[in-house]
A and B are shown apart, each in its own frame.
Chain A
């Protein structure tokens, strides 16, 4: 692994200060403080319902937070639509269910946002798209529709689609949990490659092998709070909190 490229800089990519979020009266996220430096690969894990998805969806304003500050690349996330659109175009996101556009071909899926948001000429956008489709190893599927691809291929297209916007940060929400075991590897390989190139990544996943190999920080969440965070070696071998120990014993134990 190219260790040199995986260095973390001390430039701040995302900073979350004192963030709180409620769904109605239900307090989903409580006092979240998190600073992500450029080039960091962070894995977020925790039991179901602990607020992992909600946390990363707040970062690109798919969910609105009620208290605290979120700054992405120096842009403060507020209700101002201009800021929100700016942040969203800098932050790529991959979903558990891929969310490709079924009425567009793979190539059109990848060129849509560059053409309409970045105003890239069509030709150039297509070249970029082909470049990233090659990177995720499915250039030959470019003219098919998403429904004709396997789950693993669809998720790799989703990654390529995000990359076409040349994002500075990538968010992943359980990208492999809707996939069959043999497809998980192809998606994880793509993500590992991305990490090696120095992409800043926040990844909700229960793939602990991936966390050990790629992450430089693992965050454990429970009941809407960050309970523990540490380097992967420390985190897995020597968890401090009882709840982390319980969680790890449950997912690694069998």
Chain B
């Protein structure tokens, strides 16, 4: 071979070959199907089996869904219309959608308030989720919790204003003291906020709620998917900062702070959420001064928050541990103080690493909000199992109702998951 070629190595191309299409076996759908579905004999068998399975599932559910009845007064009426044909009775959704979404005691003419709060939620979240938006929007984000509180609970506007005042005063005190020491600022701020709330509590008269602009709605009247959303959003947004604080505390050089954080995390992680909820239901009331009326909603928020904060803290600790020591040293050697190097260097990187873990916990937390139905709060599951299924009209409509609840949860959780994947791509700057 080498002999015959050696006298023939010089070569000059004189005519250029025209571009031609690849053979149809190397491209297009045929090739894709062959490569991906029928690559080997066993592969082909699995494909056929899977297709058959999909067919079975669809052929039994699709007719049921398409034959669904959307207009009927009760399950009995529904069955009458169906006349023996297998079909869904979605009429329960059109009849009771308001109860599923808002609970059965929220005043019907006030539904616009939680709806408005829900719409504004997107405005408030936008600058947090998409940091390319103008930073000024964060002012609205800061005001949103108080606005949403006022919209949903109604009553005197003085209450959210007092809450806001407490936070502002707390921040000002923190800002003043933090120059001396972080701990002084942190605890000083918290104490100041509580002082404002305590004093302010006397200034708001008991009758303030009666002639308020928005009709007051007590916490026990909240329910439905709205309650799940409220619990989910409040608890996620509180437990992330708390989790960060716990993770940093666990790394602290101060044995006392470290000890408190370790015990807290390990204890909370070792207890089932449902027990914590029962504690919230009955016991937590003893810790608050009698008559202070810390209502069940707040007690449940506290419990779910500390529960997920403990998990988030561990995820973030993993992120912190994954950072090379050199990052801390580079920050130190430039003269950044602890708070600065955490905020500007360590946490941005550690949180980025922790995003999948945090999202995992956030999604889990959101779904766990349905556990409150066991302590007789009427969230969407509580509504289904309680007032709706117990009514004579709709006793026996399980599939349709739980499917509806699943779809709602799926939409939210899938949204969170998509956002987190976008965020990870967006933050990928390391080009490893």
Question: A interface vs B, CB < 8 Å?
Answer: 60-62, 81, 85-86, 88-89, 91-93, 95, 97, 99-103, 112-113, 116-117, 145, 147-148, 161-162, 165
Contact = CB atoms under 8 A, between A and B. Distances in A.
Given A103-B349, A147-B429, A116 B329 contact: no
Contact of A101 (B327, B332, B337, B432): B327
Contacts of B348: 103
Interface string B411-428: 000000000000000010
A162 B329 CA distance: 13
Contact of A103 (B324, B335, B352): B352
B335 A85 contact: yes
A99 B334 contact: no
Contacts of A101: 327, 330, 345, 349
A154 to B, nearest CB: 12
Interface residues of B, number: 22
A232 to B, nearest CB: 27
B330 A102 contact: no
Interface of B: 324, 326-327, 329-330, 332-337, 340, 344-345, 348-349, 352, 427, 429-432
Given A95-B330, A97-B326, A99-B326, A117 B429 contact: no
A97 to B, nearest CB: 6
Contact of B332 (A88, A103, A162): A88
Residue among B327, B330, B334, B427 with the highest chain A CB neighbour number at 10 A = B334
Contacts of B427: 103
Contacts of B432: 147
28 contacts: A60-B332, A60-B333, A61-B332, A81-B337, A88-B332, A88-B333, A88-B334, A88-B335, A89-B334, A91-B333, A92-B333, A93-B333, A95-B326, A99-B326, A99-B327, A100-B330, A101-B327, A101-B345, A102-B349, A103-B348, A103-B427, A112-B336, A112-B344, A113-B336, A117-B334, A117-B336, A145-B431, A147-B430
A116 B430 contact: no
Given A86-B335, A102-B429, 10 more contacts: A60-B333, A61-B332, A88-B332, A95-B326, A100-B330, A101-B327, A112-B334, A113-B335, A116-B336, A165-B334
Contacts of A116: 336, 340, 344
Nearest to B345: A101
A62 B326 contact: no
Contacts of A97: 324, 326
B431 A148 contact: yes
Please name the 8 residue pairs, one residue from A and one from B, whose CB atoms are nearest each other, closest first. Answer: A89-B335, A147-B431, A99-B330, A99-B326, A113-B334, A88-B335, A93-B333, A145-B429
Nearest to A115: B344
Residue among A86, A103, A147, A162 with the highest chain B CB neighbour number at 10 A = A103
A14 to B, nearest CB: 15
Nearest to A113: B334
Contact of A62 (B333, B337, B349): B333
B354 to A, nearest CB: 13
A85 B329 contact: no
A103 B326 contact: no
Given A102-B429, A145-B429, A145-B431, A62 B329 contact: yes
Contacts of B330: 95, 99-101
Given A95-B326, A112-B344, A116-B344, A102 B337 contact: no
Contacts of A81: 337
Nearest to A95: B326
Contacts of B334: 88-89, 112-113, 117, 161-162, 165
Contacts of B324: 97, 99
Given A85-B335, A145-B431, A148-B431, A95 B329 contact: yes
Residue among A85, A86, A91 with the highest chain B CB neighbour number at 10 A = A85
A81 to B, nearest CB: 7
Residue among A92, A112, A148 with the highest chain B CB neighbour number at 10 A = A112
B64 to A, nearest CB: 51
A167 B352 CA distance: 32
A89 to B, nearest CB: 3
A105 to B, nearest CB: 8
A89 B334 CA distance: 6
Contacts of A165: 334-335
Contacts of B340: 116-117
Contacts of A95: 326, 329-330
Given A85-B335, A113-B336, A117-B336, A99 B329 contact: yes
A24 to B, nearest CB: 17
Contacts of A147: 429-432
A95 B327 CA distance: 11
Contacts of A112: 334, 336, 344-345
A112 B333 CA distance: 13
A96 to B, nearest CB: 9
Contacts of A99: 324, 326-327, 329-330
A102 B430 contact: yes
A117 B336 CA distance: 6
Nearest to A101: B345
A103 B348 CA distance: 8
A103 B329 CA distance: 16
A233 B352 CA distance: 51
Contacts of A89: 334-335
Contacts of A148: 431
